[in-house]
A and B are shown apart, each in its own frame.
Chain A
């Protein structure tokens, strides 16, 4: 299983802080499509993705147990 984390407006849209999905073997891009469909999240194409707290590309393949976070454009400071 994989834990998926949502932040900021993505969490508002998804209605969850986190969900559990079977995502091993899928690319980040594929996961984005699945999550957009299943949870009605609109702006994943403008979000970065982090796997286990490190930024990853859309081509990266997810492994069993990875935690995936969708990172909307940040606005700290």
Chain B
């Protein structure tokens, strides 16, 4: 299971272990964590929720897109749901490839795609209120296609 939605804290090493391969010269790991301050506003904690079966499918789709684009890539992604405190790990992405540049690029691609097509939502809980994030058309969607180069570079 290289693509998972987890309810418990994510073990980073276990995600990395899934992409270990003899052909790899590099493994990049992205760890997304819960930040305390967003535009000066103090977050107390977050709630993540997912449409779980579809989220897993969309994570798998991202893995397939990466393998089509970067030769020899192995991908593993785990995203956590539920209540997360400041500094907790929300997502871990591990990518291995024969050469390091591909591993960096493919990993970046994975996180950008998660923010476009994977049905996971974040509810911010601040000192003075709460709000589901992403409900003001902040995100662009690419339901079937891939983002253009310019979108990746934003």
Contact = CB atoms under 8 A, between A and B. Distances in A.
Given A74-B119, A76-B91, A9 B49 contact: no
Interface residues of A, number: 22
A72 B134 contact: yes
Contacts of B114: 76-77
B141 A48 contact: yes
Contacts of A69: 51, 54, 119
A36 interface: no
Interface residues of B, number: 34
B69 interface: no
Given A74-B118, A77-B90, A77-B115, A55 B143 contact: yes
A12 B132 CA distance: 10
A50 interface: yes
Nearest to B81: A76
A75 B143 contact: no
Given A9-B132, A9-B135, A75 B115 contact: yes
A9 B75 CA distance: 31
Q: Which 6 pairs show the lowest CB-CB distances between chains A and B?
A: A76-B120, A55-B143, A75-B134, A8-B121, A53-B54, A73-B134
Given A8-B49, A75-B115, A77-B111, 10 more contacts: A7-B49, A8-B135, A43-B135, A50-B51, A53-B51, A53-B54, A73-B137, A74-B141, A77-B90, A77-B114
